[in-house]
Each structure stands twice: as structure tokens, then as C-alpha cells.
Structure 1
Amino acid sequence: MKTFIVNSKNPSSFEETNFKCPIAKGRDVLIRVKSIAPCEVDVALRTKRVGEVIGTDAAGIIVETGRDVKGFRVGDEVYYHSDHSREGCHSEFHLINEERLARKPVSMSFEEAATMPGSTLLAYESLFDSLQVDPEVSRGKSLLITNSRCSVSAMVVQLAANLTNLVIFTIASNDEEAEYMQAMGADYILDDSFSLDTQLKHYGLKRVDFIFSIVKEYDDILRIRSITDRDSRATYLISSQHENEVMNHFDSRLNFEQDFIFCGESQCSSLENQGERLKEIAELIDAGAFESLLTANLGIIDEESLAYAHRMVENDQLLGKVVLNYSE
């Protein structure tokens, strides 16, 4: 089977090789991968997993089931977020435990479905578990998303717009970002080049209730102090590349509730009830609640296109997500 491993001499590139197709045992299913969507976690894994198969988000068709599998059968079309402790989905065939996947949304193609699992799982955890937003009592409260060039931010907006009554603010650096976040469901767009507190006053607010922020440096946290008070709550998503830089400067005396989600090798891999949550998300997608995050399709996967997709993610070159396919 066609497989792509991280190049041991140059971890920013990949090497195509052929492995023997694995056999599904126990509660594992064997999936013929149709589409993959490289993400920030994959970028973080490259330097830690040289010479190995990585890859996190995918969609495909089950071609074999282990004898203990109860919820799926051969021919099911599924989407999923991989277990990082095992080989990833940068491979034509992929083994995964049935608890980690769900049938893909009927209304989405394989390409569209592959963009959804990781970003949606993290967004759901951020909004409802970490920020503790209660949809039943959210009317009149405000949510600020500080980074528009992140698929998780886009899903936080979609979840908040469709499942809560929050007033949603996002920050944009240009018209492209502003239009994208409005399409995702944001109510108001703040200009990244101006003072946040001044802009919020224009909407009659002195502070926001909830903040979701992609943090790359400690200044990203300091910036929101002027729009918080002791009743505010913030969740920060921090990649493994920026964890030390941020946490070495963190001041716990900031007087509002703060929570950190560290997006590295284990994050999302250990989320409980992934399959059940992805099933719920698929139902919401088919009901028309959410849009796909797909914004770029690079076609058939090879060494060059896979490396290019990783560079696009690493360098924040696109809004939404990029996909590659194993067949037409």
C-alpha cells in the first residue's frame, strides 16, 4: 500500500514507500483512506516522528473489520481523528479503533468530511467543556475569537452561532478574514490594527464574557486584559511549538478565569467519546448547521503535494483547510 513517512533527513518533507497492508483485529477497522486534511497537530508531530507515518484527520471507506467490531461494517463511509500513538492516515490504508470514528455526513464529500474531525472536536471542547458555555443561558453574553486564520476558530464560530445565543465577535487583519468569519457566523468583526476596548465600546460593551484565543506568544494573552473582568473566562489553544515561550511568562495573577489547551502529540488523541461526538456533529451537518472547512484541494497525494500542504498549514497561508486525495 502507498504510504508517506516523514523524511528522516529532512522532516519538512516526506518519502513515499510501500508497506504491507495491515489486518484488522479486535475492535480495529481497516479504512481505505480517500481524503486527508493536514493540520497543526501534524506539523507539530513531524519533528517528533521522523521516519514514521503521521496524519490526523481523514475520511474513507471501511474495507475490513476486526471480529469484535460492533458498530460498523464493510462499506461504511466514515470520518475520524487519528490516535497519535499509532501510525497515522498519511497512508492508503489505515487501522483505527471503532470508538474513534463515525459515519461521515451524508451531505459531504470525502474531501469535505476530512476537514471536520480534529477542528470540530477541539472547538467543541473549547466552547462547552473549557469555557463552560451553557447554551440555555447564553443569550445576551458575548464571545470573542481572536484568530481568524485557524480552522478551530472557524468551528468555534460555527458552533456558537448554531448551538448558542452568544453575540460573536472575531478579530480580522484584512477583508478576506473578515468575510470568511462572517460566512462562518460571526456577528461583528473587530479590526486587528485598532484598540479592542475602543471598538467594543462602539457596541456598548466594556468587556466580553468568553474569549477563545490561539496563542503564539505571551503578548496575545496580555492584549485581552483590557476587555476582561473577574467574571470573564478565557481559553487559550497553544501548540507545542509555542508552549514554553508562553508559559514561561504566564502571570497567574490576571484576575479572570483562564484555561489552557495544549495542542500537541497527545491532544485530541485522548479526547473521550470521540466517535459519539463525531456522530452528533455529522447529524448536525446533515441538518444544515455547519459548513465544511474545505478551502483548498491539492488533488492526488504525492511527496511534493503533501509537503506543500504542510507548509500551507505551518505558514498560515489559507483560511479553512487543505485536503489531498488517494484517488480521483
Structure 2
Amino acid sequence: MTEMMRAVGYRRNLPISDPESLLDLTLPVPEPGPHDLLVRVAAVSVNPVDVKQRAGSDPHGKPEILGWDAAGVVERVGEAVTLFRPGDEIWYAGSIARTGTNAELHLVDERIAGPKPASLTFAEAAALPLTALTAWEALFDRLRLTADSTGTLLVLGAAGGVGSILVQLARQLTALEVIGTASRPASRQWVLDRGAHRVVNHHDDLAAALPDGVDYVFTPHSGGMIPVFARILRPFGAVVAIDEPRHLDLLPLKPKSIAWHWELMFTRALYDPSSTAQHDILTRVAGLVDEGVLHTTMTTDLTGFTAANLRRAHEIVESGSAIGKTVVSGF
């Protein structure tokens, strides 16, 4: 008899206000491949990629499971697995090429999973993997920053999911001056509490707010910003972007020889599946969390793994004004 599990997915790309935009489903339990872990999921978090996928991809009636962040317990392992064993508590962000984490049981390649921080609950842990990997790769792989790096980093959207952990990483693991952008009093305080040296309002004239310029920019919102970056970045500066702006013209950056980098944390899983780099990053981040150097960015925990709660989580992300991360926990 086929073993079944609960999951939340969608069959049509509908507005999140529609009760059928996300549905409670019952699906067969997947079988682990050689390097796979079958994980009993305890908590997931919702990211902008979940919203983009739901809105932009129509499965035409076939159940599609979203979700990439997860924390849970290893239930079974594939025949080639060496990094984990059943009973281990892990966290991960998965692969965009595979079925998502919004399910009672989920498959993930061991090489992109890490040991969950012992000091965090599953819900607190689920808030971090995708954003921590994105932030780590943006800072240390794309911008090639080190503990000795100096200068000024401007973090746009610093109260958001990636910004909330990137500010912490930059403040704790480099010698940079970290400036975040936020507009509301609550989000400004959140960014300062994460370790930013100061906060500027992204609705203001950034060139006027930053008269001395900056050396690096992290941006989740690049559309229409290239002329601004060309003004505020110092010669030989660099930008790292995680969004998908249309009709992007980078030519204004050329006179100052400003470098442009893309960051997509799914690249390794898609193009270098044998790499254990993300396992290593998640292991390092877990250690920093347990040492008290880094902190969870969870601000909302919707208890009860239901389509209704995941719809609410998507609404929060779609609002564009969320601080930190929204988590759904508890099957």
C-alpha cells in the first residue's frame, strides 16, 4: 500500500485572496535517491521566490508544491548518504528544480543541507537557510569580502528577509561600515538592532543622504536604481543584486568601473550538484547562531501547517512591508 502524506500546494495560479490559491493535499511519500534525505518537516518559511513561483507558473491542474526553506528531522537516507543519519535535526533551502518543502515529508540532497542550530527551535531555524545562504554568497563569494574588508556597504531593504541576516553577517564578519535602508520606525529599529551602524530612508534622495558615497551595494530592488548607484558608488565599487529587473541598462556604471554581480542561491544545486559548499555554509552559520553571533530573523510564526496559514504567510510577503521572516510550523 502506498504511503501517503499531507502537503499544501496549488493547481492554478490564482490571487492569494482566492481560497483555492493554495490547497490542502494528500500525496504519495517520495522515495529517496542515492544522496537524498527524506525529512519530516517541522517548519518552513515563505520567501519572495514562493510568491513569484505561485503567481508566474500555472501547473494546469497538476498539484504543485512550493516552499524551499525548511527545518526538520531526517527520517530515511539514500544509499550514498554520508553526512547525516536518521534522527538528525537539519535545516536547508533546497533546490528550485525539485518539489518544494510545504509537505509533511520532503526530499533534499544531503550536500545542500546542514545541521540545525541546537539553540533554535525548528520554527526559528526555518527562517534562515535561504536568506543566510543568499547573504553569505553575496558577501563572501560574489563581493569576495573578508574579515579585513573595510569601506562602506549599503544594504537596500535591510529589514527584509535577506537584508536582516546580511546586515548581521557584514557587521560581525567584516570591518565594513554597514548602512541599511528602511522607512518606518519599526523597520528602522529592527535594522539597527541587527547591527547596522546607521539607517537611511530609501524614499529619500540617497545621494544626498550619502554624500561621501559607498563602496558596495546589496540590492533586492534594482529597477530604476542604476543612475542612483552610479552616483553613490565610489570608483571601482560593486553591486550585488538578487532581483530580476527588466530592461536593465548598466552603462551608467562604466565610467567608475563599477562591477555588477548576480546572486542566486539555487545556482549551486542547479549547476554544481556535487558541491558541498552550501552544506559547509549552513554548518558555519549554525555554529555562529549557537555562539550567539547571529540571530534568527523570524518575526511571525503561524502555528498549524495548513493551506490557510500558508495563504496568510504569502499575503504577508506580498505586502512588501514585512519585517524579517514569516514561518509556518507544526504538522
TM-score (ref. length: structure 1): 0.89
Partner of 1:48: 57
Question: Which is further off, 96-105 or 305-314?
Answer: 305-314
Partner of 1:310: 314
- 1:208 Cα deviation after fit: 0.9
Question: Which is further off, 65-74 or 19-28?
Answer: 19-28
| Distance (whole Å) between structure 2 residues aligned to residue 74 and residue 275 of structure 1 | 17
Q: CA RMSD in A?
A: 2.0
Change (3 A) 1:281 1:253: closer
Question: What code does the residue aligned with 1:323 have?
Answer: V
Partner of 2:230: 225
| Distance (whole Å) between structure 2 residues aligned to residue 33 and residue 154 of structure 1 | 24
Question: What code does the residue aligned with 1:48 have?
Answer: S
Partner of 1:150: 160
Question: What code does the residue aligned with 2:214 have?
Answer: V
Question: What code does the residue aligned with 2:326 have?
Answer: V
List gaps (5 residues or longer) in structure 2. none
Provide, for residues 221-249 of structure 1, a one-character-per-residue CA deviation record: whole Å limited to 9, x for no partner: 2223222232221112214xxx3x242x4
1:24-173 aligned at under 5 Å gives the runs 24-46=32-54, 47-48=56-57, 50=59, 51-136=63-148, 138-139=149-150, 141-173=151-183
| Distance (whole Å) between structure 2 residues aligned to residue 193 and residue 325 of structure 1 | 35
- 1:305 Cα deviation after fit: 1.4
- Contact 1:121–1:268 at 8 Å: present in 2 too? no
| Distance (whole Å) between structure 2 residues aligned to residue 263 and residue 44 of structure 1 | 14
List gaps (5 residues or longer) in structure 1. none
Match of 2:217 among 211, 235, 240: 211
Change (3 A) 1:253 1:261: closer
- 1:326 Cα deviation after fit: 3.2
Question: What code does the residue aligned with 2:260 have?
Answer: D
Partner of 1:290: 294
- Contact 2:142–2:263 at 8 Å: present in 1 too? no
Partner of 1:274: 278
Provide, for residues 127-175 of structure 1, a one-character-per-residue CA deviation record: whole Å limited to 9, x for no partner: 1122222222x24x11111223421111111111110111111122121
- 1:282 Cα deviation after fit: 0.5
| Seq. identity, % | 27
Change (3 A) 1:237 1:23: closer
| Distance (whole Å) between structure 2 residues aligned to residue 9 and residue 181 of structure 1 | 34
| Distance (whole Å) between structure 1 residues aligned to residue 289 and residue 226 of structure 2 | 33
Change (3 A) 1:200 1:322: same
Change (3 A) 1:194 1:3: closer
DSSP 3-state at the match of 1:152? helix
- Contact 2:40–2:104 at 8 Å: present in 1 too? yes
| Distance (whole Å) between structure 2 residues aligned to residue 172 and residue 189 of structure 1 | 7
Partner of 1:251: 251
Match of 2:7 among 3, 23, 30: 3
- 1:258 Cα deviation after fit: 2.8
- 1:24 Cα deviation after fit: 2.4
